[in-house]
Chain A
Amino acid sequence: MDQAVGSAGSTPLVAMHAIVKTFGDLVANDCVDLDIREGETHALLGENGAGKSTLVKILYGLLQPTSGRILWRGAPVSLPDPKAARRLGIGMVFQHFSLFDAMTVAENIALALDDARAVNDVADRVVEVSRSYGLPLEPGREVWTLSVGERQRIEIVRCLMQNPRLLVLDEPTSVLTPQETGVLFETLGRIRAEGRSILYISHKLEEVRTLCERATILRHGKVIAACDPRTQTAAALARMMVGADVGAARKAAGALDGPVRLAVRGLSLPAPDDHGVALREVRLEVRAGEILGVAGVAGNGQGELFNALSGETPAPDAAAVVMDGVEVGRAGPNARRALGGAFVPEERLGHGTAPGMTLTDNAILTGHATHGLVRRGFIDRAAAQAFVDRIVAAFDVRKGARDPAARTLSGGNLQKFVVGREMLGDPGVLVVAQPTWGVDAGAAQIIRQALVDRALAGGAVVVISQDLDELFEIADRICVMFNGALSAPAPADGLSREAVGLLMGGHGESNARETQPCAS
């Protein structure tokens, strides 16, 4: 493919040529070219599953390409392991942080430094480097006591301590509040001013447009285009990324005067374990026809709230959770399902489904309570299969075999299956967590539309999500979870992202408290 933007001049810092990577039958990277110049901020754009992560893992020496070659300042190099990449000057900030929770900040950083220095020396350097970049860190703290933003700081500082020429950041803002994102961008500006190159991986188009000079766009493992994102509209970038126009979910502004279908009244629960978050006096009401959005940075009690709503963690007081006027605080998941509740957990594999079991088995997993799949303790397999067929037809689930194991489905298809399983019974109360996390744009749109339609049909829907764009697209009212407490919901229209961001960081004026999450 042609070098779209001014390929003349100096040799690129790094050039990846005709990279192919296959996993069995799956082609993750199909003849991908990517070059990054000295001092530039380069975006790698693409949907979930487009092959971005595979490509940067190859660049960081974590995966070996099936074929293709990598040039560093014009000279071919081999990157058998991350150490080799680090020696060249490549640093990597992972999306799912590569940190060790039980170890201190200094130990975590020492582990990523290849020169064998004593942990104490590292600690001194950490303070120095982190201060000079405006990323304060206490070297003696254990990682599990830190917030998500602070954890990301560790990753960035430990890259910077190796004085890298190229810093790779994989979806760095997906877990940050808008304010934390602003701080990150300032840091990146400082790093760029030092003449370092940045490879910025994202599917957030506005970020890329403000931050990057060049972009390479991947779709289905192939390079679709290379362009200057500053000269493109977000819609044009989205079209290149997805290959089609992406519509927003249709939504009529519903009048919020229906009956209350789900109410939580002063629910407090102790933390389930040492790494969990206690719920504090959570109150919410969701009316028929309404979608309530729950925003918040990961790890502020969203998982605990979901479990409390689904009945996996019953409340001490029956009146704490009320569904359609019935007090269900002490009831388990199946009693709540029998009353018209349905739940879609954040974790598809392992929580929403049993990964190694077939779709039919996974349909029985929650369908046994409501869809008449069990008679006198005996499972009716034919009924379960028919149930699967209806889910597959209604939600366009693409599967290879007749009845494959859940883990063999792609993220989007499995999520459609789970959402379909829960929605086929037309639930009156629907609680979903991260409904489109790691899902391709097409599936995400189907799922969001289904949630909107459920509300329009009179259901009460709670969407717990870290994706503010998603919440602003579909929610009628939005509240924020911080440190186990829930802010008062506000109508989504007229609510600013900045206000939500402040609440996400614990700086709101409402009932969110000024305490650090998981303080030791």
Chain B
Amino acid sequence: MTLLEAILLTVITASTPLVIAAIGELVVERAGVVNLGVEGMMIMGAACGFAAAIMTGSTFIGVLAGVGAGVAMSLIFALLALGLAANQIASGLALTIFGLGLSGLVGASFIGAKREAMPKLDVPVLTDLPFVGPVVFGQDPFVYISVLLVVSVWWFLTRTRAGLVLRACGENHTSAHALGYRVLRIRLFAVMFGGGCAGLAGAYLSLAYTPFWSPGMTAGRGWIALAIVVFASWLPWRLLMGAYLFGGITILQLHAQGMGVRIPSQLLSALPYLVTIVALVVISRRRSGWNAAPGALGKPFSRDY
């Protein structure tokens, strides 16, 4: 395996949780809701996924538990932000604080536990192809799932009627309501999808990426996923690009540290966060026209009583 292959492989694995968490949040935001609790849902996915996998010995059940934890967390958010029309920003923050704490409780007895990382795909002949083999045919299932998710979300949003309705709710919930669409129900499904994706991304971290549990192991990835959605101007394909860009920077700084570049390691570690800020600035400055944020983003909807 060449160095380039190795770098590319690690970039892909580092980007995958960002892709999964961000594509979920993209759907949530296209429906007109901002859920800032991605970090909290993600770390709960990581903790519950790992705990379930250790207890049952099944990676698959672990993944299911991670997704379930993310959905459960998103339901708390939905109750507040949709059911009670509470402030979405504060509700999302609460979810993150709560998730960071609760994941510590759930994971406390699993610190130090070890299990095998999820096996990577191994197709005879194909995986052995030079370069293309390991990069395209030698990944763990999550990587394929993440790409599949992006493609399906793109197809759903642009090619299906349900996707059209979801975008309509995000664009103008008053009009959508006037046409008879159940804005809150549609948003609930979107929020649950976002929660499931965040949980899945968390499960990926503790089951395939590291693979062990440590408190706070998401390390701000949930927040970066939120930034990627803005960076992508709410478009699935750009999101894929954005996530790989951020994953790439994370890996490059690791390699730079490993190669003993004479820059403080802390500066290199800060790079992904600094790049996020720069990317936000560049994108926000360039952003114009209607090709930007959904019209009703972050605005609570409530019916007349």
Query: Which residues of A lie under 8 Å from residue B164 when comparing CB positions?
Result: 107, 110-111, 119
Given the complex, which residues of B lie within 8 Å of A274, measured CB to CB?
288-290
Set of chain A residues within 8 Å of B291, measured between Cβ atoms: 102
Complex contact A111–B165 (CB within 8 A): yes
Contacts of A94 in B (CB 8 A): 178
Query: CB distance B178 to A101 under 8 Å?
Result: no
Quick check: is B187 within 8 A (CB to CB) of the other chain?
no
- Evaluate contact between B304 and A111: CB separation under 8 angstroms: no
| B172 contacts the other chain (CB 8 A) | yes
Known: A111-B164, A111-B165, A274-B289. A62 touches B295 (CB 8 A): no
> Is A252 among interface residues, defined by CB-CB distance under 8 A?
no
Where the two chains meet, the residues of B that have a C-beta atom closer than 8 Å to any C-beta of A are 161, 164-165, 167-168, 171-172, 174-181, 288-291, 294-295, 304-305
Contact A100–B168 (Cβ < 8 Å): yes
- Residues from chain B with a CB closer than 8 A to the CB of A24 are 305
CB of B168 to closest CB in A, whole Å: 5
Report whether B171 and A102 are in contact in the complex, using a CB–CB cutoff of 8 Å. Answer: yes
Chain B residues within 8 Å of A97, by CB: 175
**Partner pick for A82 among B161, B180, B294, B305, CB 8 A cutoff:** B180
Taking a contact as CB atoms under 8 Å apart, the answer to whether B290 and A98 are in contact is no
Distance A97 CA – B179 CA, assembled complex (angstroms)? 11
Contact partner of B171 (CB less than 8 A), chosen from A63, A81, A82, A100, is A100
Residue of A82, A98, A99, A100 with highest tally of chain B CB at under 10 A:
A100
Asked if A306 CB lies within 8 Å of chain B CBs, one says no
Q: Given A111-B168, A142-B290, A98 and B179 touching (CB < 8 A)?
A: yes
Contact partners of A276 in chain B: CB under 8 A = none
Picked from B288, B290, B304, B305, the residue with its CB within 8 Å of the CB of A102 is B290
B180 with A103: CB separation less than 8 A: no
Q: List 30 A-B contacts (CB under 8 A).
A: A23-B305, A24-B305, A61-B180, A62-B177, A62-B178, A82-B179, A82-B180, A83-B180, A94-B178, A97-B175, A98-B175, A99-B175, A100-B167, A100-B168, A100-B172, A101-B171, A101-B290, A103-B167, A103-B171, A107-B164, A110-B161, A110-B164, A111-B164, A111-B176, A111-B179, A112-B179, A119-B164, A142-B290, A274-B288, A274-B290
CA of A112 to CA of B174 in the docked complex: distance in angstroms?
14
Q: How far is the CB of B297 from chain A (nearest CB, A)?
A: 12
Is A200's CB within 8 Å of the partner chain B?
A: no
| Closest B residue to A107 using CB positions | B164
Contact B290 A116 (CB under 8 A): no
Say if the beta carbon of A395 comes within 8 Å of chain B: no
Closest 5 CB pairs of A and B: A82-B180, A98-B175, A102-B290, A98-B178, A100-B171
**Complex: A97 Cα to B161 Cα, angstroms:** 21
Nearest residue (CB) in B for A84 is B180
